[in-house]
């Protein structure tokens, strides 16, 4: 009996904290409505969480709503925070992110596109972290890392990261050593984490079935089904860049032929625009600038990318029946130039039923989607059981009848 | 407190019944190991389920195991049973299936390939049911229906079934009226249900991530992720036949071009084998017989089907990272003639990681996979809460301290 009511208490504490983390500050009445708990239970649980420094309750004047403003409960982003890191092909990034998703500090540095050792990347990331205004104590409760590679979540092993030249790199262990921390380090694939971030804080808020397509040199994907990441048997799911779409197409670095990536990736765009295929980020920006200025060859190249993007998306719409498709990276930047061709192919090639239900949108979070997803990953153990973070103070307050 | 322990009791009863339904008869010790419940709890719960006629406990001599045979608990397939129905393009079928998956009676009749009204199909299904040796009382606790169409599960509405010529048919309601039953009628897409059946009773037993590809005139798919069917936002997911695989290919009846179905469906096979595209089931059988006799054109046609099958599967392997791919219908019958070409394309076009983890197998349950999946669908409400089926007798026994 004591055992069971303790389980229920912890689950209820978790429900309240997750609700505030995902939807932002709310009044007690809103929490009653959202969680289905009684007003009395909410009062007691919030008391405990406030005493434990996880939440704060404050008079709020909500944006223009009539009547007496009711007190808002908000997450203590200054007390519960994580460190988010990202290693992608063009840049490294670090951020300090608080409970509720508040970005407390943020830094990004470009990096040259070449194969580097994990030691170099870890050293650069550690340097980047040092530039952040971290609190003096060892406050971040965990570290999340987004990486452009295939990741085994259980132990943070990067099985392969073609664009970094890595294979079987124990990234979680290396990061922990490099940052001299004993906090847990969680590693995820950048597109998978971008999908989570867009779902929770970006273009797919409120949706449960999401496809996130991230376009850079490679094309990665994150699939969310019923609110949960689809990982497959071993975390390999979402390798959308390597769907065959053109059996008479070009060879792909993966060894196959006609992969989607060979038709829609950065190299395809540069080739179509008559530029050097390995021109990189700057050349892509030049194509986009030319298109914005009305340059026909640039516009045609982008239309062709949009067309192939639509062909591949049509297959995934028929296969997965998603609510939202979020386009990130290159596709977000190019969205105004590709969306019409993309829509046309979706109309032509996707089945009427699922086509009618899906919305295509550019990523809200831009290049930072994977980084913010890494923060969500690092917060997950806390969100699953915040009671574990309640200190002696809270227990004292509870015992005193708070 | 009383409320809560009642919830726990019902959940434990459900765990035991589901375990026996899925894995077959087991000893009490095995149930202790599988469910994590104590020996005492298992004894009390089984007593209740035996008194309620849901289970029976009997001395069993297990196949060759040494030592004293222990009593086996088995589901009462003679007490808890459902009616399963199927309407596909070539035949209608009905079966009486008991708890545990035992097929108590089974009938299938061919039907000509033409568009028919729902009234005709319902009348034929009702006639087929009359041929089954049903128990004299109204014993089946529910009806499951598999249909080759896009189905809204919530109310059993068939939104579209191109091969039957249906659109917006309230099939569940019609079946209930045609059979004069007030038992609940559950309708599902045939490939989705085939996937469930192969997962629980067929070629994918023990796997949690499954792709079921059913080849007939059309090509349908069922996706199981983490043991759960992937339905998408509105149940449209799994329309694998309409993934674009050949942008320079043929027009599809769906209005698109180069759908997978146009390269691997029955019509593609007949065309490649130099036969009439609309020759139907018999002509397909003739091609398979010719191939078995060593006929080169037939073998070449099947190799080409295998090649395109492999191309499309490679995309899905990269996208979904499944454990097992089960090939049903036409692909199961043709398996010995297509498997080498299929493997070759998978090796070439799927990524090394997910390729190494996936197994491709022909369906175990043959043409009956969707029918047996319909039985599982109809049993689901019972499996979710078998306590609701415990009669007064069981409650009496419990009160007396059984």
pLDDT tens figures, B213-240: 999 888 999 999 998 899 899 888 999 9
Which pLDDT score is estimated for A67? Answer: 60
pLDDT band at B151 (very low <50, low <70, confident <90, very high): confident
Residue of A232, A353, A357 with shortest CB distance to B320: A232
B215 found inside a domain = yes
> What single DSSP character describes residue A259?
B
Which pLDDT score is estimated for A393? Answer: 47
pLDDT band at B289 (very low <50, low <70, confident <90, very high): very high
Which pLDDT score is estimated for A322? Answer: 97
Q: Domains in chain A: how many in total?
A: 3
Q: In DSSP terms, which residues pair with B193 in a beta bridge?
A: none
Which pLDDT score is estimated for A400? Answer: 47
Answer yes or no: do A57 and A133 share one domain: no
Average pLDDT, chain B: 90
A237 vs B311: CB contact, 8 Å cut-off?
Answer: no
In the listed set A18, A52, A76, which residue is the last one of a domain according to the structure?
A: A76
SS3 state of residue A269:
helix
B247 vs A311: CB contact, 8 Å cut-off?
Answer: yes
SS3 state of residue B324:
strand
Q: What are phi and psi of A272, to 5 degrees?
A: -60, -30
Answer yes or no: do A112 and A187 share one domain: yes
A323 found inside a domain = yes
Q: In DSSP terms, which residues pair with A105 in a beta bridge?
A: A96
Residue A323: list chain B partners with CB under 8 A: 233
Interatomic CA distance for residues B338 and B331, integer angstroms: 8
Please report which helix (H) or strand (E) contains residue A262, including its range. Answer: helix A260-264
B233 vs A321: CB contact, 8 Å cut-off?
Answer: yes
> What single DSSP character describes residue B359?
E
Q: Which residue has the higher pLDDT, B191 or B7?
A: B191
Q: Which strands sit side by side in the sheet containing A185-189, from one edge to the other?
A: A103-110, A91-98, A81-87, A143-147, A185-189
pLDDT band at A385 (very low <50, low <70, confident <90, very high): very high
> Could you count the other beta carbons within 10 Å of the beta carbon of residue A3?
6
Interatomic CA distance for residues A229 and B102, integer angstroms: 36
Q: In DSSP terms, which residues pair with A214 in a beta bridge?
A: A220, A328
In the listed set B44, B76, B108, which residue is the last one of a domain according to the structure?
A: B76
Residue B232: list chain A partners with CB under 8 A: 209, 320-322, 354
Measured between CA atoms, the residue of chain B closest to residue A352 is B254
Cα A396 to Cα A36, A104, A393, distances in angstroms? 27, 30, 5
B392 found inside a domain = no
Answer yes or no: do B211 and B272 share one domain: yes
pLDDT, tens digit (0-9, with 9 covering 90-100), for A106-130? 999 988 877 788 999 999 999 999 9
Ranges A56-70, A218-232, A287-301, B122-136, most confident: A287-301
Whether residue A390 has pLDDT greater than 90: no
Token pair recorded at residue B310:
């492999």
> Between B296-320 and B280-292, two packed helices, what is the crossing angle to 10 degrees?
110
Residue B237: list chain A partners with CB under 8 A: 319-321, 354
Whether residue A236 has pLDDT greater than 90: no
* Cβ–Cβ pairs < 8 A, chains A and B: 150
Which pLDDT score is estimated for B74? Answer: 95
Residue B351: list chain A partners with CB under 8 A: 236, 239, 242, 254
Residue A350: list chain B partners with CB under 8 A: 242, 256
Whether residue B11 has pLDDT greater than 70: yes
A266 found inside a domain = yes
SS3 state of residue A210:
strand
pLDDT band at B400 (very low <50, low <70, confident <90, very high): very low
Sole residue written with tokens 């062709």: A304
Lowest-confidence pick of A36-45, A311-320, B61-70, B293-302 = B61-70
Residue B250: list chain A partners with CB under 8 A: none
Q: Give the pLDDT mean for A320-330.
A: 95
A321 vs B234: CB contact, 8 Å cut-off?
Answer: yes
Whether residue B66 has pLDDT greater than 70: no
pLDDT band at A302 (very low <50, low <70, confident <90, very high): very high
In the listed set B45, B76, B107, which residue is the last one of a domain according to the structure?
A: B76
pLDDT, tens digit (0-9, with 9 covering 90-100), for B335-353? 999 999 999 999 999 998 8
Residue A351: list chain B partners with CB under 8 A: 236, 239, 242, 254
SS3 state of residue A163:
coil
Answer yes or no: do A243 and A126 share one domain: no
A234 vs B357: CB contact, 8 Å cut-off?
Answer: yes
> Could you count the other beta carbons within 10 Å of the beta carbon of residue B134?
17
Token pair recorded at residue A254:
């993966």
- Look up the CATH number of the domain holding residue B325: 3.30.420.40
Q: Give the pLDDT mean for A199-216.
A: 93
Measured between CA atoms, the residue of chain A closest to residue B229 is A225
Answer yes or no: do B233 and B349 share one domain: yes
A239 vs B159: CB contact, 8 Å cut-off?
Answer: no
A145 found inside a domain = yes
Answer yes or no: do B216 and B339 share one domain: yes
C-alpha count within 13 angstroms, C-beta hemisphere, residue B283: 17
Q: Give the pLDDT mean for B264-268.
A: 96
Sole residue written with tokens 């306590």: B387
Token pair recorded at residue B362:
């022909």
Answer yes or no: do B216 and B96 share one domain: no
A236 vs B1: CB contact, 8 Å cut-off?
Answer: no
B159 vs A353: CB contact, 8 Å cut-off?
Answer: yes
Which pLDDT score is estimated for A4? Answer: 63
Q: Give the pLDDT mean for A211-224.
A: 92
> What single DSSP character describes residue A213?
E
Residue of B319, B322, B349 with shortest CB distance to A240: B319
B245 vs A248: CB contact, 8 Å cut-off?
Answer: no
> Between B118-130 and B171-178, two packed helices, what is the crossing angle to 10 degrees?
40
Whether residue A198 has pLDDT greater than 90: yes
Cα A238 to Cα A230, A308, B236, B317, distances in angstroms? 8, 18, 19, 9
Domain housing B66 = 2-76
Distance in angstroms between the alpha carbons of the first and the last residue of chain B = 22
CA distance B44 to chain A (A): 20
Which pLDDT score is estimated for B337? Answer: 98
Q: Which strands sit side by side in the sheet containing A157-161, from one edge to the other?
A: A150-152, A157-161, A166-170
Q: Which residue has the higher pLDDT, B54 or B154?
A: B54
Q: Give the pLDDT mean for A375-386.
A: 95
Interatomic CA distance for residues A282 and A4, integer angstroms: 59
Q: Which of B195, B353, B357, B358 to mutate to test the interface with A (most CBs of A within 10 A)?
A: B353
Answer yes or no: do A94 and A180 share one domain: yes
Answer yes or no: do A55 and A85 share one domain: no
Whether residue A261 has pLDDT greater than 50: yes
CA distance B364 to chain A (A): 22
Token pair recorded at residue A359:
């919305």
Q: Which residue has the higher pLDDT, A241 or A88?
A: A241
Residue B152: list chain A partners with CB under 8 A: none
Q: Give the pLDDT mean for B72-92.
A: 93
Q: Which residue has the higher pLDDT, B325 or A136?
A: B325
Token pair recorded at residue A77:
């982003």
Whether residue B109 has pLDDT greater than 60: yes
Which pLDDT score is estimated for B305? Answer: 98
Whether residue B177 has pLDDT greater than 90: yes
Those residues whose C-beta lies under 8 Å from the C-beta of residue B328, and which sit 6 or more positions away, are B191, B194, B198, B212, B213, B214, B215, B362, B363, B365, B366, B369
pLDDT band at B402 (very low <50, low <70, confident <90, very high): very low
Answer yes or no: do A183 and A313 share one domain: no
From B231, B227, B264, select the one nearest B245 (Cα to Cα): B264
B52 found inside a domain = yes
CA distance A228 to chain B (A): 11
Whether residue A86 has pLDDT greater than 60: yes
A348 vs B255: CB contact, 8 Å cut-off?
Answer: yes
B400 found inside a domain = no
Whether residue B60 has pLDDT greater than 70: no
pLDDT band at B368 (very low <50, low <70, confident <90, very high): very high
B232 vs A322: CB contact, 8 Å cut-off?
Answer: yes
pLDDT, tens digit (0-9, with 9 covering 90-100), for B201-210? 999 998 999 9
Which pLDDT score is estimated for A137? Answer: 78
Distance in angstroms between the alpha carbons of the first and the last residue of chain A = 22
Interatomic CA distance for residues A80 and A378, integer angstroms: 11
Which pLDDT score is estimated for B371? Answer: 97
B42 found inside a domain = yes
> What single DSSP character describes residue A364?
S
Answer yes or no: do B262 and B285 share one domain: yes
Q: In DSSP terms, which residues pair with A143 in a beta bridge?
A: A83, A185
Answer yes or no: do A207 and A132 share one domain: no
Measured between CA atoms, the residue of chain A closest to residue B248 is A246
- Look up the CATH number of the domain holding residue A29: 1.10.10.10
Q: Give the pLDDT mean for A158-175.
A: 90
Q: Which strands sit side by side in the sheet containing B210-215, from one edge to the other?
A: B228-229, B219-225, B210-215, B324-329, B359-362
Cα B353 to Cα A188, A234, A252, B314, B326, distances in angstroms? 16, 9, 16, 12, 19
Q: Give the pLDDT mean for B117-127.
A: 94
Whether residue B1 has pLDDT greater than 90: no
Which pLDDT score is estimated for B401? Answer: 44
């Amino acid at each position: 009996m004591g055992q069971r009511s303790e389980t229920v208490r912890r689950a209820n504490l978790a429900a309240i904290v997750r609700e505030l983390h995902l939807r932002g500050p709310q009044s007690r009445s809103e929490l009653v409505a959202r969680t289905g708990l009684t007003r009395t239970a909410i009062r007691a649980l919030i008391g405990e969480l406030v005493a434990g420094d996880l939440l704060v309750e404050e008079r709020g004047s909500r944006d223009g709503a009539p009547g007496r403003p009711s007190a808002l409960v908000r997450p203590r982003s200054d007390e519960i925070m994580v460190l988010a890191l990202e290693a992608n092909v063009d840049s490294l990034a670090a951020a300090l992110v608080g409970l509720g998703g508040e970005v407390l500090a943020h830094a990004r540095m470009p990096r040259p596109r070449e194969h580097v050792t994990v030691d170099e990347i870890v050293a650069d990331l550690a340097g980047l972290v040092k530039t952040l205004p971290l609190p003096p104590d060892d406050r971040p409760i965990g570290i999340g890392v987004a990486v452009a590679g295939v990741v085994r979540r259980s132990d943070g092993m990067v099985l392969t990261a073609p664009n970094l030249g890595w294979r079987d790199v124990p990234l979680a262990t290396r990061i922990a050593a490099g940052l001299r921390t004993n906090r847990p380090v969680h590693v995820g694939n950048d597109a998978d984490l971008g999908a989570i971030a867009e779902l929770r804080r970006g273009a797919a808020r409120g949706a449960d079935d999401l496809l996130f397509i991230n376009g850079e040199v490679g094309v990665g994907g994150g699939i969310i089904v019923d609110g949960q990441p689809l990982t497959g048997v071993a975390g390999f799911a979402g390798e959308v860049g390597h769907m065959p779409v053109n059996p008479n197409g070009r060879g792909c670095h993966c060894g196959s032929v006609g992969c989607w990536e060979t038709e829609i990736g950065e190299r395809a765009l540069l080739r179509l625009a008559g530029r050097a295929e390995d021109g990189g980020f700057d050349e892509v920006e030049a194509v986009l600038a030319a298109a914005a200025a009305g340059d026909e060859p640039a516009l045609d190249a982008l239309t062709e990318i949009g067309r192939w993007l639509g062909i591949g998306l049509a297959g995934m719409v028929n296969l997965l029946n998603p609510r939202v498709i979020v386009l990130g990276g290159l596709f977000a930047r190019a969205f105004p130039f590709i969306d019409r061709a993309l829509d046309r192919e979706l109309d032509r090639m996707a089945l009427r039923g699922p086509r009618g239900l899906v919305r295509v949108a550019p990523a809200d979070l831009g290049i930072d989607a994977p980084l913010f997803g890494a923060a969500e990953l690092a917060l997950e153990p806390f969100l699953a059981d915040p009671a574990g973070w309640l200190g002696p103070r809270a227990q004292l307050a509870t015992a005193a009848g708070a």
